[in-house]
């Protein structure tokens, strides 16, 4: 068997609309693929034709795991096409971020979504074969 593609990440969030606004700011081409309600909670599939976030609203829930403190997902990485433009979008929307350097990348930008999930935004060097 082989993996065909990475399809989605399922995230719980306190405020579905705030999460949607945040990710729409980062990725202006994303759209609502599906939405509804399950067991009294709202959910939304938000992304593009190849990938989406399955967002589940849990307004009274609290974060249990902290990134980089034990076992679990520390961050999710997305490849972007223009790190300078992304930094301008983040600055223009008052979204805090930090950057790191690596030889294979032009930009490695780290930002937290409204629920504290860390997102890495990567623009690779043109010469990097696996971009």
Domains along the sequence of the chain with CATH = 1-60 (3.10.180.10), 74-131 (3.10.180.10)
Q: Given a cut of 80, is residue 30 above it in pLDDT?
A: yes
pLDDT of residue 40: 87
- Average pLDDT in the chain: 93
List residues bridging with 99 in a β-sheet: 109
**What whole-number distance in Å separates Cα of residue 18 and Cα of residue 114?**
7
Provide the whole-model pTM.
0.90
The confidence band for 39, taking pLDDT boundaries of 50, 70 and 90, is confident
pLDDT of residue 65: 78
């Amino acid at each position: 068997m082989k993996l065909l593609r990475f399809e989605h990440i399922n995230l719980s969030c306190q405020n579905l609309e705030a999460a949607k606004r945040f990710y729409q700011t980062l990725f202006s081409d994303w759209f609502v693929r599906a939405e509804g309600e399950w067991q009294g909670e709202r959910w939304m599939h938000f992304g593009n034709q190849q990938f989406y976030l399955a967002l589940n609203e849990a307004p009274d829930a609290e974060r249990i795991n902290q990134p980089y403190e034990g076992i679990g997902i520390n961050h999710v990485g997305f490849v972007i096409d223009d790190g300078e433009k992304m930094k301008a979008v983040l600055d223009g929307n008052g979204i805090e971020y930090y950057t790191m350097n690596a030889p294979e990348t032009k930009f490695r930008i780290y930002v937290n979504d409204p629920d504290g999930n860390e997102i890495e935004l990567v623009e690779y060097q043109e010469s990097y074969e696996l971009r």
